[in-house]
Structure 1
Amino acid sequence: MKLWIPGEIVHFLFGPRYRNILTRIIFSVPRLFHLYSPNWLTIRNEIVANIKVRVYYPKKRLSNAMILYLHGGGWTTLKPVDYDDLILYIIKRLGMLIISVDYRRSPEYLYPIPIDDCEAVYRELVTIDYKRYGIDPTQIFVMGDSAGGNIAAVLAQRQLRTNFQKPKSQILIYPTIHPFDFQSPSYQQYQKFFPGCSMLNPRMMAQWYLHYLGIPVTLKNTQKLLQNKHIRRKGKEADKLRSIIDRNLLPISFINETDKKFEMELEDDYIG
């Protein structure tokens, strides 16, 4: 007998968009217990490049460098305020100004809008607002976790490809780096030991990708991703992807002998 969790019930009755709203509400509950910022720090919600940001001002700066933080949440959930504890921990150790971008989220705003928002903030800081915040524009670190790590990596690559000033460094915390293999050892492990729980699982991740890309979050499309049937079977792109996601390239310690062995199946058509 299958145990239905609340999110699945909402998804079944009202659709994926309302399930995402429920997820946002659940994730926002800790904000009700949000503590005041310590006396050594000032937190302000401001605007940079017409984008909302959350700025953390340490009263005693140890550096004129800064971190541009890009939060996670599958491009669809969470807000900068949800990362206050993490940001405070970083500032306490580094004494550095941190700006967290409140980028617009999917499914209301699709790819590439979240990335565009973060890039707009970065470029504004490099060209104009570095004076406003008293920072060295050549010492901006781009940092993000999960989906935010994905945005941070893409942002850095964009600057490289357009010959714009690159971030001092990119700091990627368990970044989302590709949607090509939903049957990798790590996906299988967490699906096996944490099925149907609040822990991130392959189905949830697949649905967040669909939300982000503006593809209907249907059972058919979700299953295509989970079965790795969402990219072309033939052609140079398919061959290149096969070489990139070959799990034999992983360190041997990452490969569990009990993992399911399979050949990645590719279809001739894209998800639609």
Structure 2
Amino acid sequence: MKNFIIEGTIKALTPIFHGGDEKTGSTPVLRTIMMYVEGLGEVAIPYYSGNAFRGKGRRLLIKDFIDHLDYEIKNSKLYHVLYSGGLLETSDKETGIINLEMRKKIRTLLPPIALLGTSIGNQIIPGILIVEHMFPICMEYKEYLPEKYKNMKQTEISVRTFTDQSFFTRRDDLREERNKEQQAIQMKVDYECFIPGTTFYHRLVLQIPTELQISTLGRMIKLMIELPYLGGKSASGDGKVKFEYENVPKDKLYLDFIEENKEKIITFLKELEEVL
């Protein structure tokens, strides 16, 4: 089987904040990367990282997986193995040396892990999913877009047209007596964001997948569409998006697999909890 590719656009319906390590004064700014643009030289392009997208997809997919099993995780290490990709640690136990049979069971009985990968003990089990960065469709990024997206109107507009500053306030609501000289503290925090209407190009690639793994990716995308929020401040209004992917697979095969193999999966999860 060949690689399986899903591509499309993601449109911001409310501001999106995805911060980097730098600040302008006290203002958090968007994550950026330097890109070479013909005729302009090096340009700083703000973007939304594939790692952040992958983390959101993992959390949704794993929770959905555990809910379908009606299973309660009791071992904190198993929780990290599933939800956050594991913890690297030096170990002389079974977890330090994963035998081939254990690897086979992980890939066979835990489709989300086959997709996204994890680490157990000091062993890394790579996933087959490549999540690319989300870049805004704009004049500076036009030459990197596939041909069918180069005629979009946004490619005539500079990337900084799609960024602005938003803000939130923090108030001291502590209900206690104060001296006359004391006042409640209120602070305004500015932050840089993508504006509503910004459209991002995005691509997901599965490396030589099985039909079950393709269906698993379809489930992850469906869950993200059902909860369409990306970036920071989504709890207070930011981050709502509209996914417009092409070629999204059905999730029926994946859901049928869970139902048909429920007992085997639960037994294996219990085995993992004992050795972690």
The TM-score with structure 2 as length reference comes to 0.22
TM-score, normalised relative to structure 1: 0.23
Q: Determine which structure has greater relative contact order: mean sequence separation of CA pairs < 8 Å that are 6+ residues apart, divided by chain length.
A: 2
Q: Which protein shows a greater Rg?
A: 2
Between Structure 1 and Structure 2, the one with more strand by share is: 2
Higher share of residues assigned helix: 1
